[in-house]
Amino acid sequence: MAPNEGQPAKASKTQKTVLIGLIVLVVLLVGAYAGMHYTSRPQFCTSCHEIAPQVASWEKGPHKTVECLNCHAAPGNIGYIVRKVSSYKELYLHFTHQVPAQIAWTPHIDACLYCHSGKDSAYPNAKNITLAPGSAPNAPPISHQPMISGNVNCISCHGNVGHASTSTTTQ
């Protein structure tokens, strides 16, 4: 009888290295995923003094139950990841004390349309701009079809809807 017969085969050094590498990769991916979600919370955003006024105005506005990246990123996983990667520029500006006096952002029309066309199941009561005016409780008061077709920026009419202005809390 051979010396190793009836014994389980020992894993080769390569197999052990691959297994350890896969475990490390899974831990890193889970950590990155958790970190991305943790840093997307409004509470994290307020940890920087320069964004605190925007978060305070968001808390008073009609979108106060909508998470930041639902509006500040293109819809979907790719939009989320692209926005998170681009936030490194903001971190750099914060830690090098180069934050501009006016913080500007570009609205993502696709994010508005995703939620307000009934595609986002997380917000079933959101105004659905694809509905005819008055046809349902969540239908808008006027037709938005020209805006949808022309890809008009939602912010041109709804400038303070995500963050309440100082004079009003809704729009």
Residues annotated within a binding site: 45, 48, 63, 68, 71-72, 90, 154, 157-158, 163
Q: Which long-range contacts (CB under 8 A, 24 or more apart) does 48-53 make?
A: 48/94, 50/94, 50/99, 50/103, 51/103
Q: Are 72 and 162 in contact (CB under 8 A)?
A: no
Q: What are the residue ranges of helices labelled H in 63-152?
A: 68-72, 76-95, 109-115, 145-150
Amino acid residing at 164: A
Residue type, 167: S
Amino acid at site 126 = A
Binding site residue list for heme: 45, 48, 63, 68, 71-72, 90, 154, 157-158, 163
Separation of alpha carbons 72 and 69, rounded Å: 5
Paired tokens of 1: 């009888």
Structure tokens at 91: 């971190």
